[in-house]
C-alpha cells in the first residue's frame, strides 16, 4: 500500500467516494429521517431534510398498535434457533471433513452446495403440504427447521474453510508435549476454531433474519417474524410513511449493526471460499 499519492488526488477521490457512498446509503438515511417526522411532514413538498420537529411519536404508535415485540421475538427465536441448530449439526461434519478428509470429501462438499441451489418454489407445494399435515404451519419449530436446512450448506462450507486453515502441525507439537486427545481438542483446537465459528454464527443469523420467501409463505399470525410483519404494511394504500419508516428501522437496526461487524466474513461465507 505504499503508493505515493498527492494530497490533492486523495482529496478528490475522498470527495467522490463520499458522494457515491451517501447516494448508495441514502434510502436508509431517508427512512431513518422520515421515522422521526409527523405523517404530514413525511409527505411535505419540498421535502424536509434535517430541519423539522423531530418526534418519537411513530415509534410509540408502532409499539402500541402492533405487537412489535412479538414479531421481534419471533425473528430472534427463528434466526438464532436455526443458526444454533445448524451449528450443532454442521460443526462435527465440517470438523471431520477438514481434519480427516477422504477421497470423497470433495464430492460431499460439492453435493451439499448443490442443495443450496434448489429453488424454493421447486419444493413449495410439498413443503406447505407436509407442514399442514404435521401441524408445523405458523410454528417456530417449523420455521427453524426450514431455515436450518436452507442455510446448512453455507454453515458447513464456511466452517470447513475456517477449520482447514488450522495448522495440523500444532497438534503434533502438543502431542510431543504429552497432550492427550481430549486435551488436544479442548486446549489446542477449540480456541483456534472459535473465531471461525463466531463468524459463521454472525453471518448465518443475518441470512436467517432477512429470509423472506419462507417466512411469508409458512407463517400467518403466531410465528410471523419481522420480514412478514413489514410486508403487511404493503396492503393499504394510505400514506403512513413515518410509521412504515419507524417499523422498518426497528426491523433492520439490529441486523445492520451485526452486518457491519461481520463484513469481512461475508465475502468468504457467500462465495463458499471461492474469493478470500
Partner 1 sequence: MATAQTRMAARFMMAPSVIALLIWMIVPLSMTIWFSFQWYTAFRAPEFTGFDNYAYFFANPNIWTVFLNTLILVGGVLAITLVGGTLLALLLDQPIFGQGLVRLLVIAPFFVMPTVSALVWKNMLMHPVNGLFAWIAKVLGFSPVDWFAQVPLFSVIIIVAWQWLPFATLILLTALQSLDEEQREAAGMDGAGPIALFFYIILPHMSRALTVVMLIQTIFLLSVFAEIFVTTNGGPGVATTNLPFLIYLQAQFQYDFGLASAGGIVAVILANIVAIFLLRVVGKNLEA
3-state secondary structure of 160: helix
Q: Are 162 and 200 in contact (CB under 8 A)?
A: yes
User: Within 198-257, which residues bind partner 1 (CB under 8 A)?
Assistant: 206, 209-210, 212-213, 216-217, 226-228, 230-231, 233-234, 239, 241, 244-245, 248, 251-252, 255-256
Our CA dihedral for 259, 261, 263, 266, rounded to 10 degrees, sits at: -70
Residue by residue, DSSP assigns 174-201 as: HHHTT--HHHIIIIIIHHHHHHHHHHHH
# chain residues binding partner 1, by CB under 8 A: 100
Nearest distance from residue 209's CB to partner 1, in Å?
Answer: 7
Q: Which residue has the cell 437496526?
A: 253
Closest approach of Cβ 113 to partner 1, in Å? 6
Site for partner 1 in 160-199 (CB under 8 A): none
The least distance separating partner 1 from the CB of residue 59, rounded to whole angstroms, comes to: 15
Of the candidate residues 20, 56, 134, 194, the single one contacting partner 1 (CB under 8 A): 20
Type and span of the H or E element at 171 = helix 169-176
Question: Using CB under 8 A, which of 30, 61, 139, 175 touches partner 1?
Answer: 30
Binding mask 72-91 for partner 1 (x = CB under 8 A): -----------------xx-
Site for partner 1 in 89-128 (CB under 8 A): 89-90, 92-93, 95-97, 100, 102, 106, 108-128
Give me the sign of the Cα torsion angle 170, 173, 174, 179: positive
* Residue among 1 and 50 whose Cβ is closer to partner 1: 1
For partner 1, the binding residues in 131-160 under the rule CB under 8 A are 148-149, 152-153, 156
Nearer to partner 1 by Cβ, of 13 and 187: the residue is 13
Q: CB-wise, 20 or 194, nearer to partner 1?
A: 20
Integer CA distances (angstroms), 199 to 12, 32, 188, 196, in order: 35, 28, 19, 5
DSSP string, 55-81: --HHHHHHHHHS-HHHHHHHHHHHHHH
- Rounded to a whole number of angstroms, the minimum distance from the CB of residue 93 to partner 1 is 4
Three cell numbers, residue 229: 410483519
| Closer residue to partner 1, CB minimum distance, 140 or 150 | 150
Question: Is 151 in contact with 157 (CB distance < 8 Å)?
Answer: no
Amino acid at each position: 500500500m505504499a503508493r505515493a499519492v498527492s494530497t490533492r488526488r486523495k482529496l478528490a477521490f475522498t470527495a467522490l467516494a463520499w458522494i457515491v457512498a451517501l447516494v448508495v446509503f441514502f434510502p436508509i438515511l431517508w427512512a431513518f429521517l422520515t421515522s422521526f417526522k409527523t405523517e404530514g411532514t413525511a409527505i411535505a413538498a419540498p421535502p424536509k431534510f434535517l430541519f423539522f420537529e423531530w418526534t418519537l411519536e411513530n415509534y410509540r404508535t408502532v409499539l402500541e398498535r402492533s405487537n412489535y415485540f412479538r414479531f421481534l421475538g419471533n425473528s430472534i427465536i427463528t434466526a438464532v434457533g436455526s443458526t444454533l441448530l445448524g451449528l450443532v449439526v454442521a460443526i462435527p461434519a465440517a470438523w471431520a471433513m477438514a481434519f480427516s478428509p477422504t477421497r470423497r470429501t470433495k464430492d460431499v462438499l460439492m453435493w451439499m452446495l448443490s442443495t443450496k441451489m434448489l429453488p424454493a418454489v421447486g419444493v413449495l407445494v410439498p413443503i406447505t403440504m407436509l407442514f399442514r399435515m404435521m401441524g408445523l404451519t405458523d410454528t417456530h419449530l417449523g420455521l427453524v427447521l426450514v431455515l436450518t436446512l436452507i442455510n446448512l450448506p453455507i454453515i458447513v462450507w464456511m466452517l470447513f474453510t475456517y477449520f482447514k486453515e488450522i495448522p495440523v502441525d500444532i497438534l503434533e507439537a502438543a502431542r510431543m508435549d504429552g497432550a492427550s486427545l481430549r486435551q488436544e481438542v479442548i486446549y489446542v483446537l477449540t480456541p483456534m476454531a472459535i473465531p471461525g465459528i463466531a463468524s459463521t454464527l454472525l453471518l448465518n443469523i443475518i441470512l436467517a433474519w432477512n429470509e423472506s420467501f419462507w417466512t411469508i409463505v409458512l407463517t400467518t399470525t403466531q410465528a410471523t417474524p419481522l420480514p412478514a410483519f413489514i410486508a403487511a404494511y404493503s396492503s393499504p394504500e394510505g400514506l403512513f410513511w413515518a410509521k412504515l419508516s419507524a417499523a422498518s428501522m426497528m426491523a433492520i437496526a439490529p441486523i445492520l449493526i451485526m452486518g457491519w461487524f461481520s463484513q469481512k466474513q461475508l465475502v468468504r461465507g457467500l462465495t463458499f471460499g471461492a474469493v478470500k
